[in-house]
Structure 1
Amino acid sequence: MVGHEEMGAAQLCCSHGLPLKYFCETDQLDVCAECIAGGLHRDHPYLNMEEACKKRKQQEQVCIPLQRSISLPPSFNTGHITSLEQTVQRQDSMREKHKIEVYDFSGERLALTLCVTSGRAGAEADIFALNQLFFRLGFVNRIVRDPTGEGFKRELLAFRGWVESRGSCISCCFVVLMAHGRPGILIGSDGTTVNLEQLFQAMDNQNCPALQGKPKIFLIQACRGEQEDPGIMYTTDALSHLSKVLPTHTDSLFIYSSQEGYVSYRSETEGSILIQRLVTVFLKGFCEFHILELLTKVIREVSDINIPTRNQQQRKSTPLVQYTLRKLLYLKPSGMAA
């Protein structure tokens, strides 16, 4: 346990990258706020560091004379006495477990951006913003403008070949698909369509061995229908090891710009609402938060926006995130300090 007077030193949680401000009494570990709020220790009793240090000193005062005694009364319960060595060993064990629960990002990061710009004013602003994000996150990003319906498949298969040619050194791939769309499909620059599921399957664990067990992120900026959401008025009251057999569809993350059946919104000058908010949130928080925390903030910010339409009405939009990730995913480039 880190002493309260030592908290000035940057002691950070290895799972969440946040300061270790609490002490879990169940596991005898220093933990951060996220560990307590929604992590492995959320149901465990805990103390803040100052309280924990006081309790430790009180226990040490009891432990010292007991260690000098030759024998203890049969009724004496020694279960609460934990040596410093045992505590350190338990901390090391838990931290090692936490490492297993975080995706390894020490290898290469590859991205593919397929964007129909024809008839989609503002698309270039999205490409520019995403390219800035990928640069900061250490991704090598391939950009293809105005793919046809068949071109989406062809370019994605070429990207998969590029990934496979680099072998097992790949840590993650990020695929961005931007176009007009309908439920389950994208519309290419030539008006022909491509099935989204076919694109997803091309990169799954079965079809892309180089990415088996590694995170595959898909960001889809496209309409998924013609419905619009006017919003509603409301009132409020005052982790396990990798299996020997890996399922086909694990380790994927899908980010849709709208709910199924609904339109997506894009400014003709500033770009898409989702893309612009996502880039802003990720650039501010990628050193501190894992990707699902970042996306939760993106969803909140997008859903708070009142979107004006041409007939002066307002609409709402809610991105959709679906995932089969098995570990925490941090986008922080390897070696970068928090």
Structure 2
Amino acid sequence: MGNSQTKPGSYDLSGECKAMMLSVKENNESAEPDIKMMKSILNHYGITSCEFVSVITAKEMHDEVISFRNHIQSSLSDISCVLVVISSHGDRDVIIGADNTSLAVKDIIQPFGDEQCLKMKGKPKVFLIGACRGGRSDHGVWSGSSANCNQSEVDKDTTEYKANRVPACINDMLIAYPAMSDFVALMDNCGTDMIVYICEVLEKTDTEKEHLYDLFVKANAKMVEGTYTDDEDNKYIKEVMVIESTLKKLLYLGKKNNT
């Protein structure tokens, strides 16, 4: 991935990076621009081993994930990193197919864990889950306003859900979501906002000097500060990226190609 040298305390990316992008294009105007942006970014880092797959159903999504994992597991190549990108609609912890069937997000992530993909044990796996995580809209809070401590029933349900949710213990992973649990992600014919801002930051940053988690934080800052739209109630909608990390080292993408 353009890393001529491995920085102390960072992952060694001198081998090959394998990437896959799954998109549900039906009723998803963000799919094509998301694909275009990801192709450009991957090309910058010389990542040619990328599969771009259009799917319809949850079963097709799952089949592609397992097939990709099996390909990695059986590969004789030195694989340093895995990237999985999703562009679709979604709900709480699920990706929704065009036929309204759903696939649990954990069923996209867990196949690349240490138990199911020994080839990638101790190596970084990055997931961009470009999909809504519910139907709620975040209308933001006026600057200087005081917080309301009285939770609605929906807020109480969300709090209880998060408290009882036990994520799988999976190592060396960086997962980015475009919204908090239960909230919508913003997307249009320019792409999914999270993917737009991540690609913008990667395009404009010296990725030899800044590790990927910090770059995701920068993309999130752009989303929080600059992203809003009008919904049917003529209210502004805000969004915030959620970044989950079990990385044990720093992850540098390295030098971009002159493309």
TM-score (norm 1): 0.64
Q: Any idea what the Cα deviations from partners look like across 1:100-127, whole Å, max 9, x if unmatched?
A: x110000000100001110011320111
Q: Tell me the amino acid that sits aligned with residue 225 of structure 1.
A: G
Q: Tell me the amino acid that sits aligned with residue 191 of structure 2.
A: G
8 Å Cα contact 1:112-1:142 kept in structure 2:
yes
Aligned equivalents of 1:115, 1:189: Cα separation in 2: 10
Matched, 1:332 2:254: yes
> Shift of residue 146 of structure 1?
2.5
**Residue ranges of structure 1 left out of the alignment (5+ in a row):** 1-13, 16-97, 237-246
Structure with greater Cα Rg? 1
Matches within 5 A, 1:145-224: 145-167=54-76, 169-224=78-133
Q: Which of 313, 322, 326 is 2:235 aligned to?
A: 313
Aligned equivalents of 1:327, 1:163: Cα separation in 2: 22
Aligned equivalents of 1:201, 1:306: Cα separation in 2: 31
Aligned equivalents of 2:185, 2:13: Cα separation in 1: 32
> Shift of residue 333 of structure 1?
4.8
Q: Any idea what the Cα deviations from partners look like across 1:289-312, whole Å, max 9, x if unmatched?
A: 100110110010000124122433
Aligned equivalents of 2:114, 2:88: Cα separation in 1: 26
Matched, 1:105 2:13: yes
8 Å Cα contact 1:112-1:176 kept in structure 2:
yes
Identify which of structures 1 and 2 has the higher relative contact order when contacts are C-alpha pairs closer than 8 Å and 6+ apart.
2
Task: Tell me the residue number matched to 1:250.
Answer: 171
> Shift of residue 235 of structure 1?
4.1
CA RMSD of aligned residues (A): 2.1
Q: Any idea what the Cα deviations from partners look like across 1:177-216, whole Å, max 9, x if unmatched?
A: 1211110111112221111112211110110011000000
Matched, 1:278 2:198: yes
Aligned equivalents of 1:184, 1:248: Cα separation in 2: 16
8 Å Cα contact 2:58-2:103 kept in structure 1:
yes
Matched, 1:323 2:248: no
Q: Tell me the amino acid that sits aligned with residue 108 of structure 2.
A: L
8 Å Cα contact 2:80-2:124 kept in structure 1:
yes
Fraction of identical pairs, as percent:
28
Aligned equivalents of 2:87, 2:142: Cα separation in 1: 32
Q: Tell me the amino acid that sits aligned with residue 193 of structure 2.
A: I
**Residue ranges of structure 2 left out of the alignment (5+ in a row):** 146-167
8 Å Cα contact 1:259-1:319 kept in structure 2:
yes
Cα gap change, 1:202/1:111 in structure 2, threshold over 3 Å: closer, same or farther?
same
Spell out structure 1 runs of 4+ moving beyond 4 A. Answer: none
8 Å Cα contact 1:116-1:179 kept in structure 2:
yes
Q: Give the number of aligned pairs.
A: 229
Aligned equivalents of 2:60, 2:144: Cα separation in 1: 48
Matched, 1:129 2:50: no
Q: Tell me the amino acid that sits aligned with residue 35 of structure 2.
A: I
